[in-house]
Structure formats: C-alpha cells, structure tokens
Amino acid sequence: MTAVLETKGLGRRYGATWGLRDCSLIVAEGSITGLVGPNGAGKSTLLRLAAGLSRPSEGTVSAFGQPIDPNGTEHLGRIGYLDQHRPIYGSFRVRDMLTLGRKLNPEWDDSLPPQLLAEVGIPLNVRVHTLSIGQQAQVSLAVCLAKRPDLLLLDEPAESLDPLARQQLFEALLGTVAERGTTVFLSSHIVSELEPVCDNLIILAGSSVRLSQSTEDIVATHKLIIVGPGIPSIPGVEVISTKSSGRQTHLLVRGVLPDLGPDCQVLQPDLEEVVLGYLTQVGQESARSVSSLAHETEIGARS
C-alpha cells in the first residue's frame, strides 16, 4: 500500500484554539477514502492543509512523498481540490469556468467537462450564478476532474444538495476516477453518504483521528453488546462507547469477542452505528466536541 497523502502529528491552530491536532493518517494510492466527523472536527482544516492552502502549525503533511509547500508549485498540478463552499465566479459563464481550468492547468482534459455537464443537462453558455446549487457543484467538480489530478480532495462535496443532485454528483465522480485510478479523499458529516462510495473510512473527532480502516473491516471488527445494568469487563476487546438506558447497557466494542454467555446479546452494528459510537466516545471523554463546535462556528464567521 503506497501512501498518496500522509500526515504526521499534523496540527493547525487558530489563535488559541486548535482546529486540528495530532493528526496522523495515511490515504492509500487508488483508494476512495472518506473522512467523517462532526462539524468542527477539523475535516476542512485537514483538507485545506493537504491542498496547500493552509500551513501546519505543527507536524507535517506530505503528498506523493513530498512535504507540501503552500507556495510551491510541485503539488498543484497533481492535486484537485473542491472547497466546501464550492467557490465559483458567479458572473462567469459555464464556458468561462472551463476556459479558466484550461488556461491554468497544463494537463487539462478538454473533452471531459462538456461531456460531464451534458449528461446532467447544464448548458455551457449560461452564467454560473443562474445555476442551481447542485448544478454549480457539478461545474466545480467538472473543473476538478478535468485537471486530471492524481489526488482529489473533496470537502463536503454533496453538502446542501438534494438526493438526486447528490447521486448525480457521485456518479460523475466515480465514473471518472474509476477509469483513471485517481485517489479520492472526501469528507462528510453524513456517514450514509460516504458508505456506498468509500473503500476506507477515517473518523476524525475532537480534532484528532479516532479510526482509520477499510469500511469492510470496520463492520467486521466491531460488535454491539447489550447487557444488563452496569458495565461488565470483557477481556480481549476494547470498549469504544457505552450507553446506559435504565435496565440495559449498550456497548460498542472492537476486537474478537470471547463467549459471553446467554446474558449478553451480541449484534452486528452497521457502519453508521460504529461511527456514532466513536463520536460518542469523544463526547464521554470530555465536552470537547461541544467546544470545538462553537470554535468552528467562530472560525467560519471569521474566514
């Protein structure tokens, strides 16, 4: 497994608070890796660092084995980046957006965007601000894809899109990257959105990495145990989160379960339940996610 993107102890501070801290992860070549976490977990910060838009306060971020220098040009041609706000020049016609891409990228694929946009019925001669949010997202994605990047960073690409637009967007994305073997690293705070798309999942919460595994393994290695009141000690497994509801306790555990006897009910959690378990774990550790949520709002208002 070759790492296309690798971070080590990566941290980014905004004033006195940390947007991301001690983040070490690997995105494998050719994979479609999902980055999931609550609002304010540092997903956007991480992706901006990876795109060379931001600069680490500590640790390193490297792509294709080279550290990313925000003022360097080496990584620019190889990384495609779609910001969560999907910035676009509203006064431009769709055609102008494509000209922009062609003029600024030597590896530009001129035939791809018209084809992608025709499939979803977006004409080239209309002004971008007259398009719907979903159509604008398609234009932004088309520009990203036609750049022919080796690594595609997508920050909440489907946010605020309706289900149909979301489906169309992912279809356009998957169709193109599968052909080229492009590595995709995309974020979302909705697990169900990532599940059908991703091979790997990285859970980011409380501004650091909680889990990084293939989606199949995640489901296979976790179990949900329902027991009576009180938290039992189970040898050989790691308890991820506990939830007590009066007479019952729900435990999300990781590892190979020993035989627990008839008092315990063992269930197979789905991906969403596992992710929620990890996010709850953060909540139990401290009220950090709340403070980081407030912090993100503040950052959002500032940036």
Partner 1 sequence: MIWLAWRRQRFLLFSAVGASIVLVVWMMLVAHWYQDASQALAHGGCLVGSVRCQNLYDAGTSASTQATVIAGVLFAAPCLVGIVLGAPLVAAEIERRTNRLVWTQSISRIRWLIVKWALVAVAVVALVSVFQLVAQWWTGQVAFRGLENSQTPTSGTIRIQRSIFGITGVVPVAYSLFALVLGTALGAVLRRTTWAVLATVAGYAAAAWLMLTWVRQHLAATVFFPYPTSQNAQALSTPGPVGWPLGFGYRVIAGKEQLLGGSSPDAIVRHCQTSGSDLYQCTTAHGLQLGEFYQPGSHYWTLQWTEAGIYVAAAIALLGVTIWAVRRWRA
Binding to partner 1, residues 94-133 (CB under 8 A): 96, 99-101, 103-107
Smallest Cα–Cα separation from 152: which of 84, 50, 38?
50
Residue (103 or 247) nearer to partner 1, CB:
103
CB 59 within 8 A of CB 9: yes
Residue (123 or 300) nearer to partner 1, CB:
300
Residue (87 or 232) nearer to partner 1, CB:
87
266 part of the interface to partner 1, by CB under 8 A? no
Count interface residues toward partner 1 (CB under 8 A).
Answer: 34
Please report, as a single letter, which amino acid is at residue 176: T
Could you tell me the smallest distance in angstroms from the CB atom of residue 88 to partner 1?
7
Q: Which stretch binds partner 1 (CB under 8 A): 76-84, 241-249, 253-261, 272-280?
A: 76-84
Calpha distance 229→175 (Å, rounded): 49
Could you tell me the smallest distance in angstroms from the CB atom of residue 83 to partner 1?
5
Residue (71 or 111) nearer to partner 1, CB:
71
Residue (183 or 241) nearer to partner 1, CB:
183
Could you tell me the smallest distance in angstroms from the CB atom of residue 6 to partner 1?
19
Q: How many CA atoms lie within 13 A of 25 on its CB side?
A: 27
Q: Binding partner 1 by CB under 8 A: which of 64, 81, 185, 278? A: 81
Residue (80 or 113) nearer to partner 1, CB:
80
Binding to partner 1, residues 7-36 (CB under 8 A): none
Could you tell me the smallest distance in angstroms from the CB atom of residue 21 to partner 1?
16
Could you tell me the smallest distance in angstroms from the CB atom of residue 104 to partner 1?
4
Binding to partner 1, residues 40-69 (CB under 8 A): 48, 51-55
Which tokens go with 170?
């992912």
Please report, as a single letter, which amino acid is at residue 268: Q
Q: Which residues bind partner 1 (CB under 8 A)?
A: 48, 51-55, 70-73, 76-77, 79-81, 83, 85, 87-89, 91-92, 96, 99-101, 103-107, 140, 147, 303
